[in-house]
Amino acid sequence: HCPSSQEALRRLRIMLDYIHEHFNQPFSLAGLANHVLLSRESCCRIFKQMTGMTISQYMTEYRVMRSLPYLADGKYSIAEVSALCGFSSQSRFAAAFRSKMGCNPNQYLHSNFDIIRNS
């Protein structure tokens, strides 16, 4: 293995840990770059090279996936789930959710209730 790819992998792990710890807060690329001790451009380049996704794409997808247990729980409104998962607005959450899951959060919520009721 060449040392540069090991270093990129190490930095990617640090970036992913940071994203996973802070997914429910407003995201700052500058904050991430500062945490990894790289420029914003280097963070974006390494992340894209190593994952095939932009940081923004990954963050959005991760937030949507983290919303699923909250929705399945049934205790939270969609607005609450949106806020708990770090989306800046309910409409951004709904759009991201629809893009990833193929239905809106309300449809997902009701499909889970149907499964629970019918079991």
> How many domains does the structure of the chain reveal?
2
pLDDT at 104: 93
Handedness of CA 84, 21, 25, 29 (dihedral sign): negative
- pLDDT by residue (tens digit) across 18-45? 999 999 999 999 999 999 999 999 999 9
Rounded to the nearest 10 degrees, how much is the dihedral formed by the CA atoms of 63, 61, 56, 31? 30
pLDDT at 110 over 90: no
73 and 88 belong to one structural domain: yes
The residue out of 52, 70, 88 marking a domain boundary is: 52
User: For 71-86, what is the mean pLDDT?
Assistant: 93
Q: In angstroms, how far is CA 9 from the centroid of its own chain?
A: 19
> Does residue 23 share a domain with residue 63?
no
Q: Which of 11, 28, 52 is the last residue of a domain?
A: 52
Q: pTM value?
A: 0.87
When pLDDT is cut at 50, 70 and 90, the band that residue 112 belongs to is low
Domain membership of residue 65 as a residue range: 59-118
Same-domain check for residues 48 and 76 = no
Q: What is the mean pLDDT of residues 97-104?
A: 95
Same-domain status, 111 and 71: yes
